[in-house]
Amino acid sequence: MRPTIFLLTALLLTNLSSSQETPDPYKHGIVFFEEGRFGGWPANNGIWSWGDEIVVGFTLGYYKDNPEGGHPIDSDRPRTIRQARSLDGGETWTIEIPSYIQQDGGERPASQLQEKIDFTHPHFAARFRNNRFYYSYDRCRTWSGPFLLPDFGRKGLLARTDYIVNGKRDLMAFLATEKDGGGEGWPCCIRTQDGGLTWEHIGWIGEQPGKGGYSIMPSTLRINENSLLSIIRRRGEIEGERIWWIEGYLSPDNGRDWYLLKQPTINNHGNPPHMIFLKDNRIVLTYGYREKPYGIRAVISRDQGKTWGEEIILRSDGGGWDLGYPRTVQRSDGKCVTVYYFNDRDHQERYIAFTIWDPAP
């Protein structure tokens, strides 16, 4: 009987050990990876979705170690833009060359928009980058543009893709400009009501950052008919030491005046935020975390941004600080798809990754 008892005991202990293991509730995968290349910064490009069809943009360059600690991308070799498309809710992806990219990897020359854009077209997408914008009527398969934005009296615009459609010819965009003395940056709200032909500067988001600081890369939602919520990437100094965080602002008058909120204030060590409304009206905020343990995180608000829940660690297995810049969408089954750039302990290259996760209460 002893061998039988020993076998049953061993099986029981094995099953108990297995039942106590906590599997990763999130599905991680790769959107783009290529040896010797650098895939990065989805937040600089944008994400768009129509049900389970998702398109995300990213920057493609060449990997090169940076002994000074900066991004390990080869500044002496060309970099260009790619976009990835999924037709199955982020499970699989194909890589595409955006139609505004020419054979040499550069973009078409920018011009002035001549025809009004229909922002309510069912397959509409817009992209904002630096001082220009682009639009598509066929789910990013072909793009019109780039078209120039006005400079609003500033030497440089630092736009990324963050916009709200108000109507057929009415769209708000949220971008950053150079500060008064130059350098990045100070976010603002701009608006067109004639389909993109002309733009108006509506209001600055927060106070202009001081020397050594910046306020950039807003992510903005409409809370109601008059109110907007924007989360901003910040950098500043305390007693000569640099700090990085994200913070929230509320506008009660459609972007003219903005007020700093107590929540959220998240010390994520230098990464842009991204917000979306879920189908049940909760808000999900995702961001990269550039301190050990490196990874991707999220918080959720159940009261339209007044308060935020506990931090959700989507993953904490990053190989170093150079990761993040996430963009998130919700697919038809309610799960979220978060896309970001990443590096792990097994590869030196930076690549585009995804996490599929359930934000259910």
How would residue 23 be classed by pLDDT, with cut points 50, 70 and 90? low
Q: Which residues are within 8 A (CB) of 178 and not within 5 positions of it... i.e. 6 or more apart?
A: 154, 155, 156, 157, 158, 184, 185, 186
pLDDT of 195 above 60: yes
pLDDT of 17 above 80: no
Q: Are residues 117 and 143 in contact, defined by beta-carbon separation less than 8 angstroms?
A: no
The reported pLDDT for the residue numbered 13 is 30
Mean predicted lDDT score pLDDT of the chain: 92
Count of structural domains, the chain: 1
Greater confidence (35 vs 13) lies with: 35
pLDDT of 21 above 70: no
CA 197 – CA 153 distance, rounded (Å): 18
| Angle, alpha carbons 187-201-212 (nearest 5°) | 25
pLDDT of 20 above 50: no
> Residue range 31-44: average pLDDT?
98
Domain of 215, in residue numbers: 2-357
> Residue range 79-100: average pLDDT?
98
CA 185 – CA 130 distance, rounded (Å): 12
pLDDT of 117 above 70: yes
Q: Which residues are within 8 A (CB) of 213 and not within 5 positions of it... i.e. 6 or more apart?
A: 234, 235, 236, 237
Q: What is the DSSP letter of 157?
A: B
Q: Are residues 44 and 60 in contact, defined by beta-carbon separation less than 8 angstroms?
A: no
Greater confidence (262 vs 240) lies with: 262
CA 9 – CA 4 distance, rounded (Å): 9
The reported pLDDT for the residue numbered 11 is 32
> Residue range 151-160: average pLDDT?
90
> Residue range 334-354: average pLDDT?
96
pLDDT digit string, tens, across residues 326-335: 999 999 999 9
The reported pLDDT for the residue numbered 149 is 97
pLDDT of 15 above 80: no
pLDDT digit string, tens, across residues 278-308: 999 999 999 999 999 999 999 999 999 999 9
CA 101 – CA 209 distance, rounded (Å): 35
CA 10 – CA 60 distance, rounded (Å): 52
The reported pLDDT for the residue numbered 345 is 87
Find the range with the poorest average confidence among 40-49, 152-161, 304-313, 330-339: 152-161
pLDDT of 83 above 90: yes
Residue 44's SS3 state is: helix
DSSP H or E run through 6? helix 2-20
pLDDT of 10 above 60: no
pLDDT of 274 above 80: yes
Find the range with the poorest average confidence among 23-32, 71-80, 265-274: 23-32
What CATH number does the domain containing 82 carry?
2.120.10.10
How would residue 84 be classed by pLDDT, with cut points 50, 70 and 90? very high
> Residue range 245-260: average pLDDT?
98
pLDDT of 82 above 50: yes
Buried b (16+ CB within 10 A) or exposed e, 131-168: bbbbbbbebbeebbbbbebeeeebeebbbbbbbbebee
pLDDT of 104 above 90: yes
Residue whose C-alpha is closest to residue 49's, from 86, 77, 75? 86
